[in-house]
Amino acid sequence: MALEDRNRVVILEDRVENVSGAEFPMSFDGQETAFNMESFKDSFDIRIVRVTPTDIEFDLIGVDASIANALRRVLIAEVPTMAIEKVYMINNTGIVQDEVLAHRLGLIPIKADPTEFLWKHDGSVPTDQNTIVFRLDVTCEANRAAAPGETDPKKKYINSSVYSNQLVWDPKGDQSVRFESNPIKPVNDEILITKLRPGQTISCELHCEKGVGKDHAKFSPVATASYRLLPEIQILEDITGDDAELFRSCFPDGVVEIVEERGVRKAKVVNPRKDTVSREVFRHKQFEDKVRLTRVRNHFIFNVESTGAIPPETLISQALDVLMEKCEISKAALAAAVKSGEEDE
């Protein structure tokens, strides 16, 4: 089997073939498939496709699915952020119970650089190096300026809804100097925390600590982190005329276009990465044996949406640092096991 064929997941009308990889020694007679660092360097690549303030799309090329999935899991669970960990409730006369209110507060993403803070371990006291303090003091009262008969709570009352922008950062130590150019605050100002009515009050002090998603989802820096294999559409025989139009309609917009060559209109694949691999094309007999759908096994299209606590491009860099650190730990453990085995002999 040719390397290119081995590296393709084949999509058929009623099944998917060549799903499992076989890139390990002794899989194929006369072919060297053992891992080689030089060949890996030649084939490995990361291509940034799109970056926005909250999203990033990039291609991870030349790695096994285990590596791609490890990166995804690190993004979700092992890149640290700052989040509200302790809520000291001074007064809460609203309808939402203390525990539920504390949980809602904890899920508000906090825009703060976690690399600027130390880990707060059990038994250690809060300091300006490991803790961020916010205060929330809100009281609802009737709006005397509201029109008679007003029914809209936002106009009838003051502070009828409590939003994340009402969290007030209380700098400790030298934090006001350290973060003068980038003050610490919630990522989004319009996250609804609770609702109040006249006479109801919330007063509390909030402590943010450094943590990771595997301890609690509130520390996860991503809203979503997913990947998919790069689709590949091979036209084996020219598809022309009305068939070309039908062929184009079998795929999402932008995947296939109609081009004219020597006066003949024919279908041409222009952007297969937009394809959702619906297999719609297999419903039409006229395309039988004219098209081959595959996915490239070692080409992963990543889509990562940050919560906003960490810029997405920084998030990827930090995730790779964590992944490399885990590799170093594994190498050290393996070396220690080998040395122990040799000593036992």
pLDDT above 90 covers a percentage of the chain that reads 80
Helical residues (DSSP H) of 7-152, grouped into ranges: 37-43, 65-77, 98-106
What is the domain count for the chain? Answer: 2
Report yes or no on 142 lying in a domain.
Answer: yes
The span from the CA of 290 to the CA of 269, in Å, is: 13
* 70/33 same-domain check: yes
* 210/226 same-domain check: no
Report yes or no on 301 lying in a domain.
Answer: yes
Single residue among 190, 220, 250 that ends a domain in this structure: 220
Nearest to 309 by CA among 160, 154, 117, 49: 117
The span from the CA of 86 to the CA of 81, in Å, is: 15
* 60/96 same-domain check: no
Can you give the pLDDT at residue 5? Answer: 74
CATH number at residue 118: 2.170.120.12
Hey, is 83 helix, strand or coil?
Answer: strand
Mean pLDDT, residues 188-210 taken together: 97
Can you give the pLDDT at residue 85? Answer: 96
The span from the CA of 243 to the CA of 266, in Å, is: 8
Single residue among 170, 190, 220 that ends a domain in this structure: 220
237-256 per-position pLDDT tens digit: 999 999 999 999 999 999 99
273-284 per-position pLDDT tens digit: 999 999 999 999
Report yes or no on 252 lying in a domain.
Answer: no
Q: How confident is the model at residue 1 (pLDDT cuts 50, 70, 90)?
A: very low
295-338 per-position pLDDT tens digit: 999 999 999 999 999 999 999 999 999 999 999 999 999 999 88
The span from the CA of 257 to the CA of 249, in Å, is: 10
Give the mean pLDDT of the chain.
91
Report yes or no on 269 lying in a domain.
Answer: no
Single residue among 186, 220, 254 that ends a domain in this structure: 220
Nearest to 174 by CA among 230, 207, 129: 129
- Range(s) of the domain holding residue 320: 1-79+221-236+290-345
Report yes or no on 266 lying in a domain.
Answer: no
Can you give the pLDDT at residue 165? Answer: 96
Report yes or no on 156 lying in a domain.
Answer: yes
CB atoms within 10 A of CB 134: 23
* 207/303 same-domain check: no
* 231/122 same-domain check: no
Least confident of 68-72, 191-195, 207-211, 337-341: 337-341
Mean pLDDT, residues 31-58 taken together: 84
122-142 per-position pLDDT tens digit: 888 999 999 999 999 999 999
CATH number at residue 321: 3.30.1360.10
Report yes or no on 335 lying in a domain.
Answer: yes
